[in-house]
Amino acid sequence: MAFWKRLARALNPGTPHAHDDWKLVWDARQAALEGILGPADDSVFHAVIPLDLGGGADVLAFTGPGSGHTYVTADLTGQPILGQAQVPTFELMICTRLPSEGAPNLISRLAPYCLEKRLAPGHTMQVSTDPQAPMYALVFTTPDWITSTFPVLGQACSLLLAIGISKADLEYAFSDGTEALLARLRERGSYPYTPD
């Protein structure tokens, strides 16, 4: 029943304040993210079906002064979604060396999972059945260059970095642990990037 009420409200808000409430949360979230990542790019990857209607998350893109591109969901923090009792305290992040449409799409589609299951640093997740895929799985960690949380409407939030890894990397994480895997990714110069 809550889904249908939210759908009806989204399609026909009924009050002039619905858009204002959404904009207040969006602006607070974007300002908080820009406070730690710098200005967002002009483009926003919008989910076809919004997260609060059971779809994916919108994603902001950031191009830093160094190499690479950063994509961050912009829907998980700051407000309850789909009647969730607990609001996630993180946004998902993924980094690539080249501009990508696949990377923001991946974290957008992963966002609903974060409302049902608790992802945390050190977790892994298989995302492919092709053992030769350069991105066979994901490993999650806290970005080591971001040292503090950021507030979104009074809630202390953080970023959860998803890094694409191979099947061999996943097996190494199972045998030696994710910290050892992250050290190996740093040694070979692939941290924090997901393969293109």
Quick: pLDDT tens for 47-98: 999 888 889 999 999 986 567 899 999 999 876 654 555 566 899 999 999 9
**The whole model's pTM is what?**
0.86
- Total of domains in the chain: 1
Cα separation, 174 vs 93, whole angstroms: 23
Residue-level pLDDT at 15? 43
Least confident of 53-67, 106-120, 121-135: 53-67
Residue-level pLDDT at 191? 95
Asked if residue 166 is part of any domain, the answer here is yes
Asked if residue 179 is part of any domain, the answer here is yes
Asked if residue 43 is part of any domain, the answer here is yes
Domain that holds residue 15: 2-187
Cα separation, 140 vs 178, whole angstroms: 9
Nearest to 154 by CA among 58, 23, 25: 25
pLDDT, mean of residues 148-170: 93
Cα separation, 54 vs 6, whole angstroms: 10
Cα separation, 86 vs 54, whole angstroms: 16
pLDDT in tens, 176-191: 999 999 999 999 999 9
Least confident of 37-51, 54-68, 111-125: 54-68
Asked if residue 192 is part of any domain, the answer here is no
Give kind and range of the element (H or E) at residue 17.
helix 17-37
Q: Inform me whether the pLDDT recorded for 145 exceeds 50.
A: yes
2 against 105, higher pLDDT: 105
Q: Inform me whether the pLDDT recorded for 151 exceeds 80.
A: yes
Nearest to 125 by CA among 143, 106, 142, 144: 106
Asked if residue 145 is part of any domain, the answer here is yes
β-pair partners for 71: 61, 94
